[in-house]
Chains A and B, each alone.
Chain A
């Protein structure tokens, strides 16, 4: 278990729902916090009666939604200057934002919904939605659906596996490693094959 997760879990045990809200809020805004693992652990704590399972889910969803909305409105109200003031401008160059806008407009539900499961991409999608002024109601609906699914999934896994949630967490971490390594491997292989075909 990482030091960050251990520290966050101590805060959850001390400050309970307040800390779950803050951790999920900060994770949704852009900080690389393991909010899914925190929700899973909190649901496991609820088995002992230390926390209430339904409140954990509710607070987890609320924190994520608040963070998503904060990212959206920050850019929508103050533009990319707000992003550059917090030091994120280099991650969101204008030409890429316009390209992302087309992608989002083609597949709004899918892009916003599925990005909730990818903690690295979700904040970027929030910023793009704010920058492109996607109607807030639409954004809220799709991201609420996504957050409900994501938080419920982690909470249910924590509740089911109880004190063995750490093993499930390890499997989940390794799964993403397999996915990333697999995608990179496929991309490099595909480029190599294309080059070979072009040469032939």
Chain B
């Protein structure tokens, strides 16, 4: 009988601990979701939307693409398309020897050149920035890509 009472008390304690843990996880998840939602509102949609404008005011869709949006999983073909770079510009500036170029991701290049992802990404970003600054500002028609302008308050840090 005593053993059964002890077991019952342990079960109750365990249930309370579980409830408290779940409540903490729920509060944490709601808090994180609210922060992400706030960020989403801040950076906003890049296409005008008819509904929900109060929650998501449309951003400037004709701004130039931003190098802050380059990620290490992106391929060189994609980066060339977005930033309108000549096909072999990055190949020459970064001394890329791989036959798969431009169907090669920044991560894959980093592994081949035995560099960290961050270092390879920084190299790519700086090459693209150099090309953009040498070329000069593009016309509004060329900028119709939906990216946030470099250096604007709308370009944010890479999401985790």
Contact = CB atoms under 8 A, between A and B. Distances in A.
Interface residues of A, number: 36
A118 interface: no
A188 B46 contact: no
Contacts of A159: 47
B73 interface: yes
Given A50-B78, A162-B46, A171 B147 contact: no
Contact of A167 (B40, B74, B105): B40
A172 B57 CA distance: 19
B76 to A, nearest CB: 9
**B interface residue count range (under 10 / 10 to 19 / 20 to 34 / 35 or more):** 35 or more
Secondary structure type dominating chain A contacts: helix
Interface string B73-88: 1110110011000000
A160 B15 contact: no
B9 to A, nearest CB: 13
Contact of B29 (A7, A45, A167, A177): A177
A103 interface: no
Contacts of B107: 6, 10
Nearest to A166: B159
A27 B156 CA distance: 31
Contacts of B145: 47-49
A168 B147 contact: no
A6 B74 CA distance: 9
A189 interface: yes
Contact of A174 (B36, B46, B69, B148): B36
B33 interface: yes
B37 interface: yes
Contacts of A162: 45-47, 61, 146-147
Contacts of B159: 1, 166-167, 169-170
Interface stretch (B20-28, B91-99, B122-130): B20-28
Contacts of B44: 161, 164
Interface in B9-58: 15, 18-19, 22-23, 25-26, 29-30, 32-33, 36-37, 39-40, 43-47, 49
A49 B82 CA distance: 8
Contacts of B30: 178
Interface stretch (A71-79, A133-141, A179-187): A179-187
Contacts of B36: 167, 170-171, 174
Query: What are the 6 tightest A-B residue pairs by CB atom distance, in nearest-first order?
Result: A162-B46, A174-B33, A6-B73, A162-B146, A185-B22, A10-B105
Interface of B: 15, 18-19, 22-23, 25-26, 29-30, 32-33, 36-37, 39-40, 43-47, 49, 61, 65-66, 69, 71-75, 77-78, 81-82, 103, 105, 107-108, 145-148, 158-160
20 contacts: A13-B77, A47-B145, A47-B146, A48-B65, A49-B145, A160-B47, A160-B49, A161-B47, A162-B46, A162-B47, A163-B46, A163-B69, A163-B147, A164-B40, A164-B44, A167-B43, A170-B40, A171-B33, A174-B36, A175-B33
